[in-house]
Amino acid sequence: MKLHKVTAASAAAFVLALTATACGGGDKDGDSASGGGDKITIGIKFDQPGIGLKEPDGSYSGFDVDVATYVAKELGYDEKDIEWKETPSADRENALSRGDVDFIAASYSITDERKEKVDFAGPYLLAHQDLLVRAGEKVTEGEDLNGKKLCSVTGSTSAQNVKNDFAPDAQLQQLGTYSECLDGLASGAVDALTTDDSILAGYAAQEQYKGKFELAGLELSNENYGIGVKKGDTEMVDKINKALEKMVQDKSWDKAVEANFGSNYENESAPKIGDIVK
């Protein structure tokens, strides 16, 4: 009988422990993956004015920041619940697979190659690859870019496009950030910075650069910006898509465009969810 009582007590304690574990705080993924948890971690760029920028006072600004903040709110998170994490172009897929972030809004173009590694919601913006050049140094679409010194960022579709499509013999310099490329353009080390026109417009609109640089006005590619999530998380994709649709419907999308891009940028209309322009 004594043995029976001890076993019963042990069993009760074991059940109680299981119940406590199941009802406990859980891990980060359990808190945030489907919304409504204590915190949500969002990957953005820290060095792209107009898109994703960490300000000197520690705050964050840009179109991607506004989009991500709106989406997070629709998922059940206040702005104070957002943890912003810098995600350079070359590390975006890894950041999602590692679980470092819940989703990424970082000028993240949807491509077939990337869709093999991550899932995308959106698109939420259609941009075009262009060139940023020094003021007065005009570049036309018919000009041979193969002799130019071009700069872009490692891991970006812009760098891939230079090699694969419009200027395979250009002297392409790939750096870690667009800010480094901009320094090279300012010093004369490179002839042009090439990436999405939305990003270039943000740089050109900065007070310290006004009048120094200008967009060439070339539409060298179509860049469909999507929000990246971990591969297989279809529930998160569906929730983000609904949030993006609402953002367009209530005109918050238009307000974000007006607030973040300079007058040099002529944006396309908001794309429809799932409508990828090749």
Helices 178-187 and 197-204, interaxial angle, to 10°? 60
Residue range 65-81: average pLDDT? 98
Does CATH place domain 128-215 in 3.90.1150.10?
no
What are 104's strand-pairing partners?
Answer: 43, 228
Q: Name the superfamily (CATH) of residues 28-126+223-260.
A: Periplasmic binding protein-like II (3.40.190.10)
pLDDT digits (tens, 9 = 90+) for 191-200: 999 999 999 9
pTM: 0.82
Domain borders along the chain are 28-126+223-260, 128-215
pLDDT of 262 = 67
pLDDT of 65 = 98
Q: How confident is the model at residue 49 (pLDDT cuts 50, 70, 90)?
A: very high
| pLDDT at position 138 over 50 | yes
What's the mean pLDDT when you consider all of the chain? Answer: 87
Q: Do domains 28-126+223-260 and 128-215 have the same CATH topology?
A: yes
